[in-house]
Amino acid sequence: MRQTLNRKIETSQGLVSVSESSGDGADVLFIHGNSSDSRVFQKQFDDLSARSHRFIALDLPGHGASDDATNPWTGYTKRGLALACLEVLEALRVDRPLVVGWSLGGHVAIEMLAHSKAFSGVMIVGTPAIGDDMREGFRGNPSGSLASQASLTHEQAARFVTGIFGENAEAFMVEAVQRTDKRFRPTLFDPASRSGDANQRDTVMVSQVPIAVVNGADDPIVNLDYEESVPYGNLWSGRCYRIAKATHAPFWQTPGEFNLLLSRFVDDLAA
């Protein structure tokens, strides 16, 4: 395991917890999903083949070891989360990173693209680039699921985690769900709070930043056919990837294949 430095960065939405590994290679920022935290990327941090790179993972406001947002109504929107991440990158003096966003983290990464072009690339995982109709990108209605509820019992949190990670779920993931600010999920899914967010389909269509699209082949949440129909402006290798024997979290369920794809993407961006 590589040594990591843990610190907290001051942002307009409070202190954001950051874990950072040393390395003089590519700067890679990892952004987790709804009601999770940065620990879900430990299998990427532990990958010895990537030890030359500088890996950075943060806990979004209202999650993990970060503060709850000082203004939930603005801080818990995709736009607010993206701006907080950009503040962290500025504080760390990170220039042109590769951003890896999983699920909600991928939506945050796309929102970051709408506000800045200072990225070498973006990898979205389990993240449909949705347009005006959010329902197109999903197999069900996330607004009516546990993902949008304020308070979850331990049993509900465990069911939420199992639906994402399956048999690969671990206890810390349930703890992360229960730690999440109870105001976060309802605010994120409130239609009124989304008025300032970018149209993500339009954003990836016009962006010339290389975008890698990686999904679990058996993802029960994302409509993969929709995601693969999006006309990306600069789709890495000209295709979207489906990783076999994985659902919504391939980086955790099949880290070997996922890490290989990430390494190839990093190498291509460097070349």
Write out pLDDT tens, residues 167-214. Answer: 889 999 999 999 999 999 999 999 888 788 999 999 999 999 999 999
H helices then E strands: how many in the chain?
Answer: 11, 8
Q: What is the mean pLDDT of the chain?
A: 94
Tell which residue, 242, 270, 269, has the closest CA to residue 258: 242
- Tell me, what's the pLDDT at 214? 98
- Tell me, what's the pLDDT at 23? 86
- Tell me, what's the pLDDT at 53? 93
* Mean pLDDT score, 137-153: 84
Confidence band, pLDDT 50/70/90 cuts, at residue 2: low
Percent of the chain with pLDDT over 70: 98
CATH class of the region 4-139+192-270: alpha beta
- Asked whether 30 and 60 are in contact (CB, 8 A), the reply is no
The dihedral built from the CA positions of residue 204, 192, 33 and 56, taken in this order, carries a sign that is positive
Q: Could you state, in order of their start, the residue ranges of all structural domains in the chain?
A: 4-139+192-270
pLDDT of residue 3 exceeding 90: no
pLDDT of residue 78 exceeding 80: yes
Q: Which residues are 124's β-sheet partners?
A: 101, 213
pLDDT of residue 19 exceeding 70: yes
Note if the pTM is more than 0.95.
yes
- Tell me, what's the pLDDT at 29? 98
Taking the C-alpha atoms of residue 103 and residue 247, their distance in angstroms, rounded to an integer, is 12
Query: Beta-carbon neighbour count of residue 124 at 10 Å?
Result: 29
117/102: higher pLDDT: 102
pLDDT of residue 144 exceeding 80: no
Distance, CA of 27 to chain centre: 16
- Tell me, what's the pLDDT at 50? 81
Confidence band, pLDDT 50/70/90 cuts, at residue 8: very high
Confidence band, pLDDT 50/70/90 cuts, at residue 255: very high
pLDDT of residue 1 exceeding 60: no
Percent of the chain with pLDDT over 90: 86
pLDDT of residue 143 exceeding 70: no
pLDDT in tens, 51-77: 889 999 999 999 999 999 999 999 999
What phi and psi values does residue 18 have, to the nearest 5 degrees? -130, 135
Comparing 100-114, 130-144, 250-264, which segment has the lowest mean pLDDT?
Answer: 130-144
